[in-house]
Every structure is written in structure tokens, then in C-alpha cells.
Structure 1
Amino acid sequence: MTRILFWVALAFLVVAAVRAKLRANIRRQQEEIAAQARRQAARPPAVTAEPMLCCAHCGMYYPASENVPAGGRDYCSAAHTPAP
């Protein structure tokens, strides 16, 4: 009878230890996920790329914000626009 109680107690302790270890791992993973979410929330938003245009005179690519339109074409600077 004592051997049966010993094995039952041993099985109970093994199951309890495994469950405790699994609970600790789940808790650690949840903390890591929460920390990662906090880091991503604190990170500044990614800079979006600006469209690039090609100069009709020299063929250089430049940001669309620096565009000098003339005669329906795009130029990188006023020096490259055709003379009127």
C-alpha cells in the first residue's frame, strides 16, 4: 500500500512541477509580448518615401517636392527649364 501511495504522490508532484513550469513560461511570453508592444508604440512612425521624378533635361531623379514644372515636363531646377 505504501508503494502505491509513493507512486501516486510522485506522479502528483511531477504533474504539479510541469504545470508550474508551463505557467511560468506562458507568463514570461506574455511579458515579452507586452514589452515588445510598448517598444513599438514608443518608436516614431516610419518615414514614408517620397515619389521621385526624372528631370527632362539631365535625367537625374529627384524628390517630387523639389519639382520645377515647365511646359508640361518636370525639371530638377530652374536652370534646366527651357528658355522662353
Structure 2
Amino acid sequence: MVELNKVGRLPFKFTRIGRWWHRDEEIDLVAVGSNGKKVLLVEVKWRDLRKREARGVLRDLKRKFDLMGLSEWEALV
């Protein structure tokens, strides 16, 4: 992610990246945009997923974004 950020291969440049935790909820990578209220949410999987599984991961990331309290922000998942 850091290398992709350096060469401009992501939807926006980020200034901070890390993991997010809230109680028993976790997001593997959260990258915060440098200009504006944008956040990139990433779930890391170590195997190929079927389409149904991938859609479930995306739904879960959107649910977790709601827990983050960033309603004015744009989330890219």
C-alpha cells in the first residue's frame, strides 16, 4: 500500500495508514486521505474468495465504516 501510494496508484494519496479496532471489530488497513475527508478500507484475505464471499466482506466493511463515526467522510472499500 505504501509503495502504491508513493507512485499514485490509489484513488487518493494517504497520509496515515494503520489498523482499526473497536471492541471485537477490526479493519485490517485504514488509509486516511491527505486532502479531504476520504478513507480507504481494506480487508486482507490469504485465499481466493468466491463472489458471494467477497460481497459479504464488502458488506461487512461498510457496516464497520458506520461504526467508525465518520458519516461526513467518503469511504472507499
Q: Give the TM-score of the pair, scaled to structure 2.
A: 0.26
- Greater C-alpha radius of gyration: 1
Between 1 and 2, higher relative CO (CA 8 Å, sep ≥ 6) is seen in 2
Greater strand percent: which structure? 2
Greater helix percent: which structure? 1
